[in-house]
Structure 1
Amino acid sequence: MIENPRIAVVGLGYVGLPLAAALSTEFSTIGFDIDEGRVKELKQGHDRTGELSSGALRDAPLSLSATLSEISDADIYIVTVPTPVDENNLPDLNALRKASQSVGTVLQSGNVVVYESTVYPGVTEDFCGPILEEVSGLKAGTDFYLGYSPERINPGDKVHTVDKITKVVAGQTSEVSELLARIYGSMNNGNIFIARNIPTAEASKVIENAQRDINIAFVNEIATIFGKMGISVYDVLDAASTKWNFLNFQPGLVGGHCIGVDPYYLAHAAQEIGLDPKIILSGRETNDNMSKVIAGRINDLLTGPSKLLVLGITFKENVPDIRNSKVGDLIAAFKEQGHDITVFDPLADKEETLDEYGIELSDDLGSGYDCVVGAVPHDVFNEYSLRELLKEGGLVADVKGMWRHRSLPDSLRRWSM
């Protein structure tokens, strides 16, 4: 097939940007995003997601554009747009639809369109393919070809980067699969697994995060049980993890755009064929309810409405991403209990947080709090003096155990899961 493909990566978020930069070292690559502001920032060497340093971004031989016509000469289109859920926790494929329509307008005979967005089995061929056909007037599998290679980006992870992980690929034909193996293999030393077909590759991705979600739900459930018994779940996990085959999952709030979303895609697929995905949805229910459980435990240790400082609003540590952060639910629960809440997160964008959650981030830490809630374990929070933030007799509520080994004065109280 195509010997020296020109590649267009559609969507320059946490997944698309690192991928485009890595591919650009081997192939002529252009990154496309409909957000003109995002493209302008990237051209200036700034990645607001923090996935690429300014130096790495400037060094990559990568073209960037927000103009659709500028990707019209590509041979390979790789779509990396978000796939969230709606207010009813049903798959929201609008971004995927719009991206497919856009690619369809520039699609030419012989092109390959690869999807990396997390979906349930069948979406690439049964949802995206027909959209591309309708807009382009071409036929999938004859005039152009489909492929799927599930993204495995872990935001903030500088070890398991896109060039160091195994990439799963699948194409409509064996030739397309081999082409994708060659393209992706060029950036990760050939560390490629060719799946049997596209639905298999789609299914492999959606169960990865569903599996994590279920395991974390188990740990959250035992944390709730042991908490009632006055036992620290972290102490229990330290002991249990000494066994060679114990799985080391940690309790906490499970949000974000992957683990907090993907199980609903799998559950939807199951329900569409008449099955009841009890374990999957039970895990989601447990994890979704943890914000209320944690808020209730902390509230029980306070005397009436109190002054609280919540540290962290992002969905995980050391990243600026606030999408689907369950800290928002935690703060809402505190407000229902009548507490006065200050929220501080130096990594999160103030305007984005206000727009998404109606939460106004504080510019400074302040002092004189009845309780400090360590909601997200950003490294920077380890530098803060809890004694300077709290009143005498104040409560340190350490949700993620980031201060569990820190000595505290007798004048402060401590709670952790």
Structure 2
Amino acid sequence: MTYSLQPFINKEKCISVTGLGYVGLPLALELAKQFKVIGFDINQERIALMQQGIDPSKELDSTAFEGCDIRFTADVSDLQQAHFHIIGVPTDIDSNKVPNLNPLLGATKSVASALKKGDVVVYESTVYPGCTEDDCLPILESISGLQGGKDFKYGYSPERIVPGDKVRTLTTILKIVSGNDAEALELIAGIYGSIIKAGLHRAESIKVAEAAKVIENTQRDINISLMNELAIIFDKMGIDTQAVLAAAGTKWNFHQYQPGLVGGHCISVDPFYLMHKAKMIGIEPQVIAAGRRVNDFIPSFIAKRIVQSLIEQDKNPGKSRVLVMGITFKEEVSDIRNSKVVDLIQELEDYSIAVDVIDPFGSPAELEHEYNIHLKVAPEGKYDSIVLAVGHQAYRTMQPKELEVLSNGPVYLFDIKGVLKKDDYQNYWRL
């Protein structure tokens, strides 16, 4: 049995991509420019939109669908037509902050039901080291009746897409690839190498590739947690953290990180996967866990500062109104998954503060369904404090007069990301 790239180039064999979110869809479309592709997702509504050339995640415009040899489907039996299967479903954590592998294992079962001798399965989802071989491979084998490594090949190539980044896109980011053996690695590298302009890094094993991915965001989480802890310390001392970072940043080897709300489905989630695996092997992580605690504390810290400000204004928090501008997990994206702005809103509401929320990217239906938060079309009335929570471009260009008309008296601005000019406001606070 040979594993060759040529049948895919000739379109005698096709590629399937399971999970068409912000990771899977761009990958499927890019592959479909050169190969025959089946795009599979269990969400029929999303499939219907993609069949019309619409990205449900609002990351791609309709031109991205042009000239692509791709068929979108929610019928799992269509996966049988593919010989190279890529799985890129989200990996989240549950309410106890334990890895939730259900979407990944569910997708594995779908692909396993279509697996044939000579097929290849590649995972892109972020997992802990060993997950591909210890958790996914047994499912592939038991359902298909085939033996991994002998009847089919498998590998891991972690996604590195940054939502909202229009510069560092899929093809311009160096790709890590790995396989269960040299033959698998060669074909996997051939498929990805056909579309990735930035080049490939061939990891020496699947576990190395899995570990490399999970520490990328763990490293960022820890570094941001240091900035957040410094912001808490300097706030108590009456020192502007941004001014401190600007001064420290004049040294050539000072690493630039900013304090802020750390949410989303990567940086705030991936460390828990590594911690989970570490505990499984008898190690209790210290630094990683401390970083998570600090970053998870920030919404509460900001809420207390807002309440303190209201009290200093001789205002009763229970009778105050606060406007929160931005609720998605980061700038210029519609994704609300694990947004820490939601935590901030809940903290404010725990003080009986009336909170209005606006966001040009957020979906009212999603916010209502996921968090029971009613998204306002526009601000309504006057507010005692204004929180600029997400630095969408529309907010970065706002002038002081625009906030003055929304304020009940002088503007009290909490600019979490520090995107507006401090000197333009008498009552201004930032992390």
Instruction: Tell me the TM-score normalized by structure 1.
Output: 0.97
Q: Residues 149-228 of structure 1: matches in 2 within 5 Å? A: 149-189=157-197, 191-228=199-236
* 1:389 and 2:392 correspond: no
CA deviations 1:309-330 (Å, max 9, x no partner) are 0011111111000000011110
Moved more, 182-191 or 101-110: 182-191
CA deviations 1:226-278 (Å, max 9, x no partner) are 11111111111111112212111111110100001000000011100101100
Secondary structure at the aligned position of 1:372 is classed as strand
Moved more, 235-244 or 114-123: 235-244
Aligned counterpart for 1:91 among listed residues 96, 99, 122: 99
CA shift, 1:60, in A, is 3.1
Work out the CA distance in 2 between the residues paired with 1:318 and 1:356: 20
- Asked if structure 1 preserves the Cα contact closer than 8 Å seen for 2:172 and 2:198, the reply is no
Report the counterpart of residue 304 of structure 1 in structure 2. Answer: 316
- Asked if structure 2 preserves the Cα contact closer than 8 Å seen for 1:113 and 1:146, the reply is yes
Aligned counterpart for 1:113 among listed residues 112, 118, 121: 121
- Asked if structure 1 preserves the Cα contact closer than 8 Å seen for 2:31 and 2:37, the reply is yes
Work out the CA distance in 2 between the residues paired with 1:406 and 1:345: 25
- Asked if structure 2 preserves the Cα contact closer than 8 Å seen for 1:9 and 1:80, the reply is yes
Corresponding letter in the other structure for 2:415 = D
Kindly report structure 1 stretches of 4+ aligned residues shifted beyond 6 Å: none
Structure 1 residues 189 and 393, CA gap change in structure 2 (3 angstroms): closer
Report the counterpart of residue 283 of structure 2 in structure 1. Answer: 275
- Asked if structure 2 preserves the Cα contact closer than 8 Å seen for 1:170 and 1:198, the reply is yes
Corresponding letter in the other structure for 1:359 = I
Moved more, 294-303 or 111-120: 294-303
CA deviations 1:17-45 (Å, max 9, x no partner) are 01111111121112111101001111112
- Asked if structure 1 preserves the Cα contact closer than 8 Å seen for 2:94 and 2:100, the reply is yes
CA shift, 1:382, in A, is 2.7
CA shift, 1:394, in A, is 3.1
CA deviations 1:135-186 (Å, max 9, x no partner) are 1111111111111000101100111111001100000011111111111111
* 1:372 and 2:372 correspond: no
- Asked if structure 2 preserves the Cα contact closer than 8 Å seen for 1:50 and 1:156, the reply is no
Aligned counterpart for 2:155 among listed residues 112, 131, 147: 147
Using the aligned pairs only, state the percent identity: 48
Moved more, 100-109 or 19-28: 19-28
Secondary structure at the aligned position of 1:296 is classed as helix
Report the counterpart of residue 399 of structure 1 in structure 2. Answer: 416
Report the counterpart of residue 344 of structure 1 in structure 2. Answer: 358
CA deviations 1:390-413 (Å, max 9, x no partner) are 1222311111101135624x5xx2
Secondary structure at the aligned position of 1:284 is classed as helix
Aligned counterpart for 2:49 among listed residues 36, 41, 50: 41
CA deviations 1:114-152 (Å, max 9, x no partner) are 000000011101110000111111111111111100010
Work out the CA distance in 2 between the residues paired with 1:373 and 1:275: 40
Secondary structure at the aligned position of 1:373 is classed as strand
CA shift, 1:383, in A, is 4.1
Aligned counterpart for 1:4 among listed residues 7, 11, 15: 7
Secondary structure at the aligned position of 2:196 is classed as coil
Work out the CA distance in 1 between the residues paired with 2:239 and 2:69: 54
Aligned counterpart for 2:300 among listed residues 292, 311, 314: 292
- Cα RMSD of the aligned pairs, angstroms, is 1.2
Unaligned segments of structure 2, at least 5 residues: 9-13
Corresponding letter in the other structure for 1:334 = L
- Asked if structure 1 preserves the Cα contact closer than 8 Å seen for 2:171 and 2:195, the reply is yes
Aligned residue pairs total: 414
CA shift, 1:58, in A, is 3.4
Report the counterpart of residue 256 of structure 2 in structure 1. Answer: 248
Secondary structure at the aligned position of 2:424 is classed as coil
CA deviations 1:189-224 (Å, max 9, x no partner) are 360000000001000000000000000000000001
CA deviations 1:350-399 (Å, max 9, x no partner) are 11111111111112122311111011111111344111211222311111
Secondary structure at the aligned position of 2:411 is classed as strand
Instruction: Tell me the TM-score normalized by structure 2.
Output: 0.94
Report the counterpart of residue 11 of structure 2 in structure 1. Answer: none
Work out the CA distance in 2 between the residues paired with 1:66 and 1:238: 50
Work out the CA distance in 2 between the residues paired with 1:310 and 1:17: 31
* 1:263 and 2:265 correspond: no
CA deviations 1:288-319 (Å, max 9, x no partner) are 11000111111111132211000111111110
Work out the CA distance in 2 between the residues paired with 1:243 and 1:177: 42
Report the counterpart of residue 340 of structure 2 in structure 1. Answer: 326
